[in-house]
Amino acid sequence: MQLSAAVMDSFDFKNSIDQDIVDLAQLKGQLRINEPMKKHVSWRVGGAVKYFYIPQDRDDLSRFLSLLPGNIPLYMIGLGSNLLVRDGGFNGVIVGLHARLNDLFISHMDGAEGSIFAGAGVPCAKLARFTCKSNLVGSEFLAGIPGTVGGALAMNAGCYGGETWNIVERVQVIKRSGNIIERKVDDYRIEYRSVARKLGIENGVDEEWFVGAWFRLIRGDGSVSKQKIKQLLTARIATQPLDYPNAGSVFRNPAGDYAARLIEFSNLKGLQIGGAMVSNKHANFIINTGNATAADIEAIITEVHHRVREQTGVNLTREVRIIGDTKALIQ
């Protein structure tokens, strides 16, 4: 889809981007100006981003990045299920990848194993179902992750005993310049809910984002995998407050313990600030009861962190990412 003339005329990079550098005629995606981020994050809160770009496909994303000056703040999201955008919004560019980088296919099959490629915009649950139908086993846990492949790769998402990078064969990344390359698993330092390049930005390496990955899985009985997924989803419905906007687990589990147990031990279930509340169903979930602001949610995250440390001595690490400004900078 070409950008409409109206959108192109309203695209003003004044004080941010030189229009002579950005040739909009070369782009095929959808550009939105001052886009409310509450439409794109699972908490349903947050201010506006100055520019929200939805690429048509991977090539269009590559072209967009090649035209975008390197000094413009840039963030990429999938389903926005692990993200809080502050009420003042984000004074830069956010790229939405969900349902865009959605390639999903069997890359290779041999006697005992198979490899599946999934784009960064593919929902984790969709990947789990696809591998099941392909009689490849070991990715069932992905059905319980409320995000996309790109986000799962970025944070080594996991649940119910499984972790994303345990099944990654290799990845495809896009650099700030728009160049797309492949990387090996050995190029990264993989830890619990943490992924970092061994040669990172601190060593002068520019920014890059995951745009896809090959997953290596064992051939097996898809019907058994289907049953595992059904059991996992039943457990998820029973234990998580899915009837309220939330971002999944807010804090990482500390070694040998569970964040939810520590929060509950500190008598914080039901704690409420404004429209944000610690769930009575799962203590490591903070829910939007209907009228929460991003400030409410950030305040309750801070309060939970403080009181757990005060009660237990454990310094919880936040899993949710927070971006943006507390006061609006976008006019």
Catalytic residues: 193, 249, 319
- Contact of 106 with 134, CB cutoff 8 Å: yes
In degrees, rounded to 5, the angle at the alpha carbon of residue 44 between the alpha carbons of residues 41 and 45 is: 95
Structure tokens, 180: 């797309």
Residue-by-residue DSSP string for 234-262: HHHHHHS-TTS---S-SBPPPTTS-HHHH
- Pairing relationship of beta strands 83-85 and 321-323 according to DSSP bridges: parallel
Alpha helices in 76-148 (DSSP H): 124-133
**Residue 94 exposure: Cα atoms within 13 Å on the Cβ side:** 28
Longest Cα–Cα distance in the chain: 59
Torsion of CA 231, 233, 236, 241, to 10 degrees: -150
What CA–CA distance (Å, rounded) separates 254 from 86? 26
